[in-house]
Structure 1
Amino acid sequence: MSAIDKSYDNAQTWFDAAMERATLLDEAGVLQRQAIADAHNACNNISDPAMLADQQLYVQGRMELEEYERYLLFKYGKA
C-alpha cells in the first residue's frame, strides 16, 4: 500500500507520517521548490504558520503533488 492510498484519521497524523519519510528530492530540488514557494507567499501575502508548514510537505519532497493535493483537500475541504 502506498502512502497515498493509506487512510488517516486526521490531517495531523498524515502530516506527521509524511514528515517522517525520506525526501524524494535532492538538495537542489528542495532549494528550487523553496524559492518558488517563497515567491508565491510574498506575492500573495501568505504568512499563516499552518499553511507554511503544510507547504513544507511538498517543498521538502515528503509528498508528491497528487498526494499533497489530496492532503490539502482532506485538511481544508468541506465535507
Structure 2
Amino acid sequence: MPESSKSPPAASAPDHSPNHALKHAEDVATFRHDLRNALAPALLCADVLGTHTDPSVRQNARTIVTALENALKLLKKSTSSR
C-alpha cells in the first residue's frame, strides 16, 4: 500500500497509570532544572552589567534581573504547588 494512502493510527486512551504519572513528574522536574540552568548565565551577566558605570546599562541590567527572577519565581511556585 502506498505511504500516502495509510490511515492515521487509532487514538489510544490516555495512560493514567502510576508509572506514567511518575514519568511525567520526572520529565517536568528535569525540564524545570534545565530551564533554571539555562537562565543562570543570563542572570550572572545581568548582575555584572549592574555594576557598569553607565546608568542606562545599570537600569537595563536591573530590568533583566527582575525579569529573570520573576521567571525563576514562577518555576519555584509551579514546583511547590504540586
The normalised TM-score by structure 2 is 0.31
Kindly indicate whether structure 1 or structure 2 has the higher relative contact order, using CA contacts under 8 Å at least 6 residues apart: 1
State TM-score, norm by structure 1: 0.32
Structure with the higher fraction of residues in helix conformation: 2
